[in-house]
Chains A and B, each alone.
Chain A
């Protein structure tokens, strides 16, 4: 933090751009930091709930990062977890009520997983690791970056599960229109079941790490 310096940092300086872009790949919350797996897997049987979930997490993470960053000098360290949980829980209640009001059927599909955004480790993890020690604007970018990093994995997993499992994209019957069923293609019902989500994330990690050798773990 360089509050003493008079020269102002440009809004999208190199450092700030990195905050936004790193979590998309090199520092991805799901495949590298291993945060927030629970909800990532459970809501990805179809694209629509995955997309709504990604948007909810983006909203909650960006806003809570900013709020905690604004409060950071006033929070006594001993009770910071409770303060963080209260901020997150209030935001999640807002998101939940919003979803119930405007997209009720998606909110029914997501069931308990909207509530589980509260204990999504991405949010607690970023608040603890970043927002507690940084100014609001970088905290906002960090929140956006991490939530987008989470969101794109969600959408990729959901895309493959919906395409191969139900033969549709966002409810549009792609394989049916292509006429694949007439030549004997069958939907792979297994893709909709929970274990396949884990295996697809495993494969994404595999691809990502073979492209980016720095991420390979020591034996």
Chain B
């Protein structure tokens, strides 16, 4: 149990998707103009990460990694399909995003309309595929650890995008040098926020 909480906290602050690994930067830069839309996208990312990471964990554990197919019988002990993981993961992500979109549309139309445009965008958000690839690389022990990693990374991403959106809303009133306006200053602020987040590095979990 404690391990699960540790992974959750660690993936929010120390291994933050944006500040430590630069994942999901494209949508992070494109959608962070107002706080409201960035909250919507952040929630959608948490949602999709929380579903795709455990699903990919099961696929990796029971189909792809070395010896994973041993449940089929003796002859399959040696089979290692891990080179297929990219294509499997991206297929799972694309179809999960589609599925989530349909489920949300059916049951909570209000949420669907607030997330609407962002859901399809998420299939190509590097943070989602990155979540699954890091899950594979770090070899989590149980599906619960993988789930908590997925949710934690999503929350970390939400924090980052809401933070930058709030700053960008304010910075519109400041006198930024013309060539830095827009993209340039956003990069530099993200760098400074990353430095701030590095203070969490000292935490030993």
A77 to B24, CA, bound (A): 26
B109 within 8 Å of A (CB atoms)? no
Whether a CB of chain B sits under 8 angstroms from the CB of A111 is: yes
Minimum CB distance partner of B84 in chain A: A93
> Chain A interface: which size bin?
35 or more
Distance in angstroms between the alpha carbons of A120 and B85 in the assembled complex = 17
- A141 in contact (CB, < 8 A): no
B84, B128, B130, B187: the one within 8 Å of A199 (CB): B187
Q: Which of A48-56, A143-151, A169-177, A202-210 lies on the face that meets chain B?
A: A202-210
Task: Tell me the nearest residue of chain B to A32, going by C-beta.
Answer: B183
Supposing A90-B87, A93-B86 touch, asked if A194 and B194 sit within 8 A by C-beta, the answer is yes
Give the complex CA separation of A219 and B83 in angstroms.
47
Whole-angstrom CA separation of A86 from B123 in the bound complex: 13
Contact of A198 among B24, B83, B123, B190 (CB under 8 A): B190
Report the count of interface residues on B (CB-CB < 8 A): 49
Beyond A199-B187, A202-B180, A216-B179, whether A93 also contacts B87 by CB under 8 A is: yes
Q: Does B143 contact A (CB under 8 A)?
A: no
Q: Does A70 contact B (CB under 8 A)?
A: no
Chain B nearest CB from A51 CB (Å) reads: 18
Contact A37/B26 with A82-B94, A116-B133 known, Cβ cut-off 8 Å: yes
Interface of B is mostly: helix
- On whether the beta carbons of B125 and A119 are closer than 8 Å, the reply is yes
Q: Is A198 within 8 A of B126, CB to CB? A: no
Known contacts: A37-B26, A124-B124. The answer to whether A119 contacts B90 by CB under 8 A is: yes
Residues A35 and B26 in contact, CB atoms below 8 Å apart? yes
Q: A121-B124, A195-B19 are in contact. Are A202 and B184 (CB under 8 A)?
A: yes
In the complex, A209 Cα to B185 Cα: how many Å? 12
Residue B72 at the chain A interface, CB threshold 8 Å = no
- CB of A203 to closest CB in B, whole Å: 8
Interface residues of A (CB under 8 A from B): 31, 34-42, 81-82, 85-86, 89-90, 92-93, 96-97, 111-112, 115-116, 118-121, 124, 193-199, 201-203, 205-210, 215-217, 219
Q: Which 9 A-B pairs have the closest CB atoms?
A: A195-B194, A217-B182, A209-B179, A202-B187, A198-B191, A37-B25, A112-B133, A199-B191, A202-B188
